[in-house]
A = this chain, B = another copy of it.
Amino acid sequence: MPTLPGVHLKDEIAKITHRLRELGLSRQVDRAVWDKIELARHAERPYTLDYIHHMFPGFIELAGDRCFADDAAIVGGLAAYMGRTIMVIGHQKGRDLAARTRRNFGMPRPEGYRKAQRLMLLANKFGIPVFTMIDTPGAYPGVAAEERGQAGAISATLLCMARLDVPIVAVIIGEGGSGGALALGLADRVLMLENSIYSVISPESCAAILWKDSGEAHLAAQTLKLTSSQVAELEVIDAVLPEPRGGAHRDHAGAAHIVKEALEDNLRQLEALHPQKRKQERFAKFRRMGIWRENGLTLF
């Protein structure tokens, strides 16, 4: 953000002091927010392949964008489910150092998004519903990734999802970080696990930009409203899924069971709709996203 002219420093300092005092009162809330962020990023938290392991025993992974590479930061494939087939696609982090490197810390490059598009179109061709799991700090910020069209790969994935005739259910299972996360999130139903986060920017980066101090990440986290309950209040997601006692990392199977039930529930509802009607509702939902003022009214 540029520093704008006309700022009177003395007034500002008074305001900040006041605001900090207010925040002091809500320190407990603040702590709760940061706890959730730590849970969302917990090294033992179940990742996409953990959910797949518990939910879809016959999973068949499909690879490649047919163009440049197979990006291990996004996995996808076919699974048997409720007596039929489902296409499962999700960000994948690694648990040990080797896996983290191979998975690029769950940060996809353009070929990851292009693989996702390819699999979605394959699913659409055969009337296979799409299920995505979102768990990434964000798309990979690298020179080569930019050169190969990181932005265009994300926008094309969004457009691809908007166009699918099949039902789409997305679950944010951990970190829903910025555009790299949203790219798998243009779904008929977007669900969020209790201890996951969904944010336009990481609290650290936000603090670095706005407070010029990444140490203020706690403050940024508080103000960004990125926890599942806060995001739900903004009507950006459709439901929050409770986690097993203590958090998903304590009970992978239990977490997978909760996700599976929610998926079944939502798919049943979505499949009862005519595809055209389902798409209309998808568009109406994203059309409503946002809160603004108009003719003196606040609309959302």
- A residues near B, CB below 8 A? 66-68, 110, 114, 148-149, 152, 156
Residues of B within 8 A of A114 (CB): 67
Choose one: B66, B68, B156; the contact of A68 (CB below 8 Å): B68
Residues of B within 8 A of A67 (CB): 67-68, 110, 114, 148-149, 152
Q: Which 4 A-B pairs have CB atoms at the shortest separation, nearest pair first?
A: A66-B152, A68-B148, A67-B149, A67-B67
The contact sample of 13 A-B pairs, CB cut-off 8 A, is A66-B149, A66-B152, A66-B156, A67-B67, A67-B68, A67-B110, A67-B114, A67-B148, A67-B149, A67-B152, A68-B68, A68-B148, A68-B149
Specify the chain B residue showing the minimal Cβ separation from A114. B67
* A152 shortest CB reach to chain B, Å: 5
Residues of B within 8 A of A149 (CB): 66-68
* A124 shortest CB reach to chain B, Å: 15
Specify the chain B residue showing the minimal Cβ separation from A66. B152
Residues of B within 8 A of A66 (CB): 149, 152, 156
Specify the chain B residue showing the minimal Cβ separation from A148. B68
A114 to B68, CA, bound (A): 12
A66 to B156, CA, bound (A): 10
A148 to B156, CA, bound (A): 20
Specify the chain B residue showing the minimal Cβ separation from A147. B68
A149 to B66, CA, bound (A): 7
A152 to B118, CA, bound (A): 13
A72 to B231, CA, bound (A): 47
A66 to B110, CA, bound (A): 11
Residues of B within 8 A of A110 (CB): 67
A66 to B151, CA, bound (A): 10
* A147 shortest CB reach to chain B, Å: 8
A80 to B148, CA, bound (A): 32
Residues of B within 8 A of A156 (CB): 66
Specify the chain B residue showing the minimal Cβ separation from A68. B148
